[in-house]
Amino acid sequence: MGFMNKIIGDSGGARRTDDYVELDGVAIPETEADTQLHIARINEKQDVIDIKDAVYAGDIVIADITRHTTQDRTMEQITDELQQVARGVGGDIVQKDDDQIIITPRSVEISRQKLGR
C-alpha cells in the first residue's frame, strides 16, 4: 500500500473528517489556520474545480493522479489548467513521480530537493 493510499484510501469515494485518526499527544489548534493542506484525487476533469478553489483560497493541495498516465490527453489538459492556476496566484506546482501533483498558493515554494539521504 502506497503513501497516498494510506492518506486517501483505495476507494474512489469522498473522504470524511472521521476517516482520519488523531495522533495521541498532538493538540488540535483552537484557532483556524491561515493555510490548510488538502488531499485530493483527480478521477475526472471535474475534480479540478475543487482544487482550483482551494488554491485560490490560499491553500495547498496534494492531488493523487494514479488513475491517469502522464501521456493521457486528459491529464495533459488537467496539468495545463493547474499550471495556469499556480501562475495566476503566484504559486508553485510540481508533479512528483507519476502519482501526485502538488500545487501551492503565493508565498509557498516547493523544494525540488528531497530531505534526508
Cell numbers given for 10: 483505495
Contacts of 103 by beta carbon, 8 Å cutoff, 6+ apart: 51, 55, 60, 61, 63, 82, 85, 86, 91, 92, 93
Q: What is the pLDDT of residues 24-49, one digit of tens each?
A: 777 777 778 889 999 999 988 899 99
Res. 14 pLDDT band, cuts 50 70 90: low
Cell numbers given for 49: 474545480
Q: What is the pLDDT of residues 83-101, one digit of tens each?
A: 999 999 999 999 988 889 9
Q: Please state, in angstroms and rounded to a whole number, the distance separating the CA atoms of residues 84 and 80.
A: 6
pLDDT at 94: 95
Instruction: Tell me the domains of the chain and their CATH numbers.
Output: 35-107 (3.30.110.150)
| Helix (H) / strand (E) containing 49 | helix 48-56
